[in-house]
Structure 1
């Protein structure tokens, strides 16, 4: 009986060994620490670094506007004119007033000279002498005033011509010939030649996450192959009351000709982020009602479940806040068919 039992047990053991399941093949990845950060993209447009609204310094009826939107103008070029008739009349009136004042000054000066000679000879009184002096000084003040009025009238006549203060391109117009315009009213908007800005409306959260003095890659929305490098030149100190975003102007370094004024562009900037572990979303399962992953013991080639804390989740990947360390091996495919302690055969990395 003893020998038979031994033979029977040996046969059963050999049969069990023959029926032992083969290690299950699984696909895995080795956990790596992602340094964090991502690329943020915003849409904006190209504007001139320096834009100026050209306006008359006096009011009047505009009789001519020689420049239109899209035209290129030179420094000192006359782009619009007001009716100069009233200014010319004012100039003639000021010239006449000056001539009259100068005549009064000659008369008062002669009177004072006579009184001065008479006083030295003792043939007049000090009161008469002082009165003549006051009259001469008053006449001199009248001449000074008339000269100032003539200068104002001369300038006002010159102001009936609107000149470009520098070379540039007209981007907008604010009045048409025949209209009565007021002093300071925008007639033409001029984008001065020189630098160009890419202008974006940026959320406050992105401003906080952006590093100091970031380098921004700007590309044309219609042709992403046309790119330029830019740096932040100006950030609005106050948020827009409606959108609650901040206007940011990015100065472009040597922008290509294709980036014309008004072109729609996309800005790309690397924003700061904390270092974190990321795994494919397919590796995620659940254990004890919490997120978990299958971790491979590479020495024994067995798997075990481990709970993790998820920081962020999207359809492609999962950011892990805690529970995994860099260098550990995690199963990414076939997680539903595993059980703790199961032997596995690694197929390599991949999701």
Structure 2
């Protein structure tokens, strides 16, 4: 019979042997390479397309404001209202303007009286001078006074005309037939001269307004064709062309405003509709298309990573264009190569990886 202390020692030895065997087995197991999502590089489509979101706008639109400042007492048109040339859109409180007209009219009346008196003096002193009762100098003074009175009357009449015009400016009218697209001030608001109150557009000629990031300006300028479609009108596609590109970026968004002229029109188009502008930018039959996320930058220029015989390889590339659904490469990758679509920035050259097709993700 084995003494109790020997049985305890034997159990410890057996346990230590088992742990050592397990450790050796774990150390001997080869490491599992990380999985990466790959997608075969493919020849670019016959035409590469870039899609930009924009808005239908009128080519001719203007912000209208009062030519004098004051308090708005009435707004006479709403957004969407069709207006005619000369139609009243809003009115200011014209009390002060009308009082000014009355004051200037009184000044003009006084100037007329002064001129009549001065002319009468000239006639009287002319007769006296002919009889040698007054000197020529006195007559000259009266003549000069009459000329000054006539000038003051002209000045008063001009001021009366200006005051009358300003009183008329208390009513804001449309200078063209169109549609009100925005109301920028309300009744009760005090506005300065020239401050926009309403926006009126001429809807017969429409265009697309969109904003382009600075990295896409060359692509927009070089686009061979523009096609516009409208989510609210499925199936409607219109040809278009670049009309105007802002020379400076918006300071807040750092994007450039571009106006796209529609070469065709359709009566179903409404101002403010969302538009999608497609740019045909890639030459037919050139380049290799890869996922956008496959192109990375780590200080040595653009690059992609491919999997060759289970190992990751870095490939410097030249990018022709960035599209909405991928990038077009001019060199660096051949059609059919397995391109790492996600997570390439974590790889090192020669690293063993296990490629998984991107389309199988989630299955």
With normalisation by structure 1, the TM-score equals: 0.68
Partner of 1:269: 279
Q: Does 1:235 align with 2:257?
A: no
Partner of 1:248: 258
Q: Does 1:168 align with 2:168?
A: no
Return closer, same or farther for 1:98/1:309 CA change in 2, 3 Å cut-off.
closer
Q: Does 1:208 align with 2:208?
A: no
Separation in structure 1 between the aligned mates of residue 186 and residue 310 of structure 2, nearest angstrom: 76
Partner of 2:58: 48
Name which of 185, 197, 218 aligns with 2:228: 218
Return closer, same or farther for 1:118/1:188 CA change in 2, 3 Å cut-off.
same
Separation in structure 1 between the aligned mates of residue 219 and residue 327 of structure 2, nearest angstrom: 22
Specify the SS of the correspondent of 1:194: strand
Specify the SS of the correspondent of 2:204: coil
- CA displacement 1:300-344 (0-9 Å, x = unmatched): xxxxxxxx99767999999573798xxxxx999xxxxxxxxxxxx
The alignment yields a C-alpha RMSD, in angstroms, of: 3.6
Compute the displacement of 1:286 (Å): 3.2
Partner of 1:69: 79
Matched-pair contact (CA < 8 Å) for 2:46–2:284: yes
Name which of 140, 158, 179 aligns with 1:130: 140
Separation in structure 1 between the aligned mates of residue 174 and residue 307 of structure 2, nearest angstrom: 70
Name which of 175, 178, 193 aligns with 2:203: 193
Specify the SS of the correspondent of 1:193: strand
**How many residue pairs were aligned?**
279
- CA displacement 1:228-285 (0-9 Å, x = unmatched): 222211111111223322110112233223321111110011115597465999xx97
Specify the SS of the correspondent of 2:133: coil
Separation in structure 1 between the aligned mates of residue 333 and residue 101 of structure 2, nearest angstrom: 88
Matched-pair contact (CA < 8 Å) for 1:94–1:149: yes
Q: Does 1:157 align with 2:160?
A: no
Separation in structure 1 between the aligned mates of residue 282 and residue 307 of structure 2, nearest angstrom: 30
Specify the SS of the correspondent of 1:226: strand
Separation in structure 2 between the aligned mates of residue 138 and residue 262 of structure 1, nearest angstrom: 60
Matched-pair contact (CA < 8 Å) for 1:226–1:258: no
Matched-pair contact (CA < 8 Å) for 1:213–1:232: no
Compute the displacement of 1:60 (Å): 2.3
Partner of 2:308: 286
- CA displacement 1:61-101 (0-9 Å, x = unmatched): 22211101111111100111122232222222222211110
With normalisation by structure 2, the TM-score equals: 0.66
Specify the SS of the correspondent of 1:94: helix
- CA displacement 1:119-142 (0-9 Å, x = unmatched): 344332122012101211110111
Matched-pair contact (CA < 8 Å) for 1:167–1:193: no
Matched-pair contact (CA < 8 Å) for 2:240–2:264: no
Partner of 2:190: 180
Separation in structure 2 between the aligned mates of residue 75 and residue 85 of structure 1, nearest angstrom: 26
Specify the SS of the correspondent of 1:93: helix
Return closer, same or farther for 1:42/1:56 CA change in 2, 3 Å cut-off.
same
Q: Does 1:113 align with 2:123?
A: yes
Separation in structure 1 between the aligned mates of residue 76 and residue 45 of structure 2, nearest angstrom: 59
Separation in structure 2 between the aligned mates of residue 169 and residue 248 of structure 1, nearest angstrom: 23
